[in-house]
Amino acid sequence: MTTLFELDDETGAELSPVPTGPATLIVEADGGSRGNPGIAAGGAVVIDPGSGRVLAEIGVFIGVATNNVAEYRGMIAGIEAASELAPGAALHVRMDSKLVVEQMSGRWKIKHPDMQELARQAKALIAGRHVRFEWVARAENALADAAANESMDRRESFRRDLA
């Protein structure tokens, strides 16, 4: 994202910044664990909705954890990457985890202490920005699933910026 500045018509002085780049980014996130708990990782992709282009792929290797922890960690990593790529952009977070989507939307309570902490981290990242959470079918979340599986296979985290 680049920044342009409005110029004062009389003096030519820079006034307020005018953001350019995407007004909204899509974050598709997923998590998995081989065994529950088991070897776990989260995955995410950041997408420009205008072009459909993937801007970043992220895998977060966790070690041994539950699937739900991995789902949250993938979402957090995707939000962090989107925030770095376009700090002022609204976010459309798409996940196949009904639990995380409903908890982050405030419709379901978060009872487990580990999930409460992860939700607090995510909410701190999205504070002050427009974010929409959407549940999608697993088949519509294949890119994030692939990133999580790659991280589990490699047993390491990664980030690829493709923009």
Domains of the chain with bracketed CATH: 22-161 (3.30.420.10)
Q: How far apart are CA 118 and CA 125, in angstroms?
A: 11
pTM summary value: 0.86
Interior angle at CA 70, CA 85 and CA 84, nearest 5: 10
Given a cut of 70, whether residue 13 has pLDDT beyond it is: no
Report the residue count for the chain: 163
At residue 4, the pLDDT reads 39
Q: Can you tell me whether residue 131 is helix, strand or coil?
A: strand
Q: Can you tell me whether residue 61 is helix, strand or coil?
A: strand
At residue 163, the pLDDT reads 74
At residue 14, the pLDDT reads 53
Interior angle at CA 132, CA 131 and CA 134, nearest 5: 145
Residues 112-138 have a mean pLDDT of 96
At residue 11, the pLDDT reads 62
